[in-house]
Amino acid sequence: MSDSTSPSDTENPIYIEGIRARRSGQSDIAWAQPAASTIPPPAPLQEQSKKKQGKRSIERPTALFTLEGVPDAHITTHHFSTQDKLGLSLLRFQKKSPTQEKPRRATNAVLLIHGLTTSTDMFIMPEHYNLVSYLLDHGYNDVWSLDTRMSNRFPYNLWMHRFTMDDMALYDYPAAIACMREHIGDAALHVISHCLGSVSFMMSLFAKQVTGIASVISNSAALTPRVPAWSRVKLRLAPFVLERVLRLPYVNPRWHEDPFLSTGKILATLVSLAHRENDVHACHMLSFMWGAGYPALYRQENLHPVTHRRGGDLYGPTSVHYFRHVRKMVRNGYAVVYDPTNTKYASLPHNYFAYAHDIATPIYFVTGKDNRVFADSNIRCHQTLEERTGAGQHELKVFDGYGHQDVFMGKHCHRDIFPELVRFLDKHRRTESYQSDEELETTLGRDAPHSRPSYVRFKTVSADADDDIVGSNSESA
């Protein structure tokens, strides 16, 4: 796509047709240059601003929380609650069938897990051929994306909380998978996870809080987080300085857009003085928040210009307490419980490698060669598990020319990254067959043992009123 994409392009039929053209193998140029009469001249792609009633207004290149990146899917939202009383949600994307009104249950389902401050949006971006669309087009007809308590679609990061990744391992993933099982039955469940979403999911898996996982793809970091030297300094100082000195409840990549002079805006301005690699202030703040580099999160040339400009939307604010947990893991050299004296974490092993010999799930550790956030974390984790459990169970892939975030959000991931992920999924997929809802209930029974724990409530919201489902176990009703 041209660097001159306007904010309205994502709503244009030509734009949607472009996504479909990419799936059919056409080049970017082939679809990005329609006849001159079909689309108006685009506005320059800059941090477009205008004076509006005397105030500066930033125009978004793409709608916030848009689902336009997956135009050919049946999409439903599934809400559930965790045992510690947080409301979370899953988005379900199913391949539409030309011969059936409703999608049929697949034998393999894929769960996507984002990292800290991102959300489902990182997997469904409309400006390039995204992961959800790629999976749907390559034989995985039932794709779910979980928005955890780290997601910028929820407000949970906007106060000075004390959540840790132990909370996610103990509460978020068991409840999410229980909710999924109500809909997918005993289908083979594959997980693709990223950043601290990967770290926390691996903690849940290795603590035996979640079971029945057919395979896992872990990007960037898992059970042995390692960071560059400058990141170690930030992990040590940032939580104290931000919370105790500056009295800020969270750090925000969009502070530069504050409408008045605030503490956050002053900090963002100072950060931008140190980052001259581009003119995107959110990118500068993200490099301040994570990693060590110019920029730190990705290789900028791998991003579509629209993705780069959307940084303030794709990554949200976050409280800094998660950083304390990362710091403790980095110091120990492996994933550990943050506060082992707290009895609510009694079911978790202090060292998350404790049950490594019992975990039979095959794991594909992937990372970018130029990862400036978690360095060689996944290389080390793969090596550690191979030494502890024997060679051959897990795999490792280092992608040349990629960093941390661009492994999923790069404009050419459909060419450079996604085929390798699908190769691994195919290796561990169950032979495909389909069951209707009625067939599944006959096989498993309406009160099958895989049902969610009694504390979980759920509501499924569908575009079709007939598909709406509201339910709960009798114990929690």
Supply the pLDDT for residue 470. 32
Supply the pLDDT for residue 104. 76
Q: Residue ranges of the domains in the chain? A: 1-41, 73-226+354-476, 229-321
Supply the pLDDT for residue 476. 34
| Per-residue tens of pLDDT for the chain, all 477 residues | 434 343 444 444 434 555 555 555 554 433 333 333 333 333 444 444 444 433 445 678 899 999 999 998 999 999 999 999 999 999 999 998 777 777 778 899 999 999 999 999 999 999 999 999 999 999 999 999 999 999 999 999 999 999 999 999 999 999 999 999 999 999 999 999 999 999 999 999 999 999 999 999 999 999 999 999 999 999 999 999 999 999 999 999 999 999 999 999 999 999 999 999 999 999 999 999 999 999 999 999 999 999 999 999 999 999 999 999 999 999 999 999 999 999 999 999 999 999 999 999 999 999 999 999 999 999 999 999 999 987 789 999 999 999 999 999 999 999 999 999 999 999 999 986 545 455 545 544 444 444 444 334 444 444 343 333 333 333 332
Domain 73-226+354-476 has CATH 3.40.50.1820: yes
Supply the pLDDT for residue 438. 52
Supply the pLDDT for residue 431. 83
The per-residue b/e assignment along 334-361, b for 16 or more CB within 10 angstroms, e otherwise, is: bbbbbeeeeeebeebbebbbeebeebeb
